Structure 1
């Protein structure tokens, strides 16, 4: 197996080989973060999402913006599915109570 790139999880299913060892999902999450920073005209929702801590931000982006199922998010993040649900709930609650979100 020498000389082969490490296997990485691919969002569409299966694995993708990446030469730099980077994660395809991580790149997707960072791309969404960059888009949210650019699109500040959504009534404060994007600002509230950007202000979330890392785990709730990742869960909100993967689940609600990119449409990934809980099991896949859990596998990517190395968490139990209940932990993913917890971070999703806390992220949504924090966004709702944020001063950046309109009532």
Structure 2
């Protein structure tokens, strides 16, 4: 009786599949006797410009409170988020100009 064993077939298939990959492993000869050049692009690591964290000396609380008072207190900081503090450049166009939201028309109510 014939027994089918997949292991030898899988090994043979893997060897046959690797043949075309090995054929392209060698580099083509350089024409004209020119010197071989490096074709790998320059690699730059993402960590090249890394600066480690350094602790900054905290400001004294009294000095920090005086700075906030000079700048207008908490209300000045609150206005920064709403754009009321004049942080928008003069002459800047309103980003919402020309936009309108149509109001849905309400259906007439049936009178009983």
Q: TM-score range by the shorter chain?
A: under 0.3
Higher helix residue share: 1
- Relative to its length, the structure with more strand (as a share) is 1
TM-score, normalising length from structure 1? Answer: 0.25
Larger Rg: 2
Structure having greater relative contact order (Cα 8 Å, sep ≥ 6): 1
